[in-house]
Copies of this chain bind each other. A is one copy, B any other.
């Protein structure tokens, strides 16, 4: 058990079982599903305001997490980047509150008529977007994840159970406490935003497929794979992002360099950063030295196949590609030469992670074949893989990126936190009237 507080409003972290917490969340989700947009928006506004008002206590809780983290030594010590993400400041808190307000301002994802059909006179079917129910989100040492996830859940009418990383537990407890109080003050169910601490709680949550509708693991590849392998609950996320850029023989080479540079250096740790560049054989001798020059200038370490190493004999320090499946997450790049567009697509299907794949070419036909035939969540032509992102796609907010083909694929916005139901309104209609000799016929008129 952690050193964090053990009670968050009505939530008794020690005294309640994980099942009790999940059941309370399910109960709260039923209430949420009936709230109209105005009430959900008001709740989000209250949440943002409460975060600002509680600034002092939130910073104090965070200071305890920071103290504990800084006292870790040796193998347990946190990397500076993690420490920086863990730390709350007044400015960061204001940003978090602003983010909650911007989620509030997004179009309502609920109650949209996705389809509407008149089945017969007086018998109408509507397909309406509704919340999923209860989300369980497992995340690492980021305080802003708490408020962002809580805001997305509230906007989409879902209850959420948060499981923060150990380093951020005190901050998370303080944040959830503030958010729950804001809900309660508005007559909304506190258990719409809930929390569990401790690794053993995760295993328990993963077993509750009758209470939890979706798990979102945000973290390392091993975390995501562990979750995927150990639950019957649908998982939203991706374990890896091994993205490719294929430089076709008809590529504008200067454009290819610019796109590769951006896709590798803009944010190397991102899942949509490029890991492998494939170059068409016919331009390899000309293009590879230019690519090497760019990589050296940008501090990108190169790993090549035999052809690449042969063609770049003069370039120092090109190592062999050990494993085309590698997601470097750093300034490193695998480089290979392929005989054709087909060979490039085969390589991508063999080693890619169906996340994001891009072709650079001036040949429209080759581009269209690539866009059509490559099986990935995002496929791109003459553009950096880094554009595969919910904000850049215009979704306003991003829950994560899914490499599943089911439900939500690619960058996932609020829509990915909804499902739908069919609503049928009749006036005593019975199915038996539509069969047999004097059967009524369905009209099946699609409505606007």
Contacts and interface: CB of A to CB of B under 8 A. Distances in A.
Interface string A423-444: 1111111111011000000101
Interface stretch (A7-15, A96-104, A306-314, A379-387): A379-387
A425 B384 contact: no
B422 A377 contact: yes
Copies of this protein in the complex: 2
B406 A407 contact: yes
Interface stretch (A193-201, A284-292, A321-329, A367-375): A367-375
A125 interface: yes
A266 B423 contact: no
Interface string A254-267: 01001101110110
Interface string A270-312: 0000000000000000000000000000000000000000000
A426 B252 contact: no
Interface stretch (A165-173, A226-234, A332-340): A226-234
Contacts of A265: 432
Contacts of A373: 30, 33-34
Interface residues of A, number: 75
A248 interface: no
Nearest to A426: B383
Nearest to A270: B431
Interface stretch (A43-51, A85-93, A388-396): A388-396
Contacts of A426: 380-384, 387
Given A30-B373, A407-B407, A409-B419, A431 B384 contact: yes
Contact of A262 (B117, B384, B404, B431): B431
A425 B381 contact: yes
A360 B34 CA distance: 20
A428 B383 contact: yes
B409 A406 contact: no
A405 interface: yes
A325 to B, nearest CB: 12
A266 B405 contact: no
A360 B137 CA distance: 39
Most B CB contacts (10 A, CB to CB) among A119, A259, A375, A388 go to: A375
A164 interface: no
A290 to B, nearest CB: 15
B392 A434 contact: yes
A392 B119 contact: yes
A400 to B, nearest CB: 15
Given A125-B394, A234-B404, A376-B421, 18 more contacts: A33-B372, A119-B392, A119-B393, A132-B405, A234-B406, A265-B432, A266-B430, A360-B428, A371-B425, A380-B426, A381-B424, A381-B425, A384-B426, A384-B430, A387-B429, A389-B431, A409-B419, A409-B422
Interface of A: 30, 33-34, 117, 119, 123, 125, 130, 132-133, 213-214, 228-229, 232, 234, 252, 255, 258-259, 261-263, 265-266, 349, 360, 367, 369, 371-373, 375-384, 386-389, 392-394, 404-407, 409-411, 419-432, 434-435, 442, 444, 446
17 contacts: A117-B393, A119-B387, A214-B406, A234-B234, A258-B428, A258-B430, A259-B428, A360-B428, A367-B425, A379-B421, A381-B424, A382-B426, A386-B430, A389-B431, A406-B419, A409-B419, A410-B422
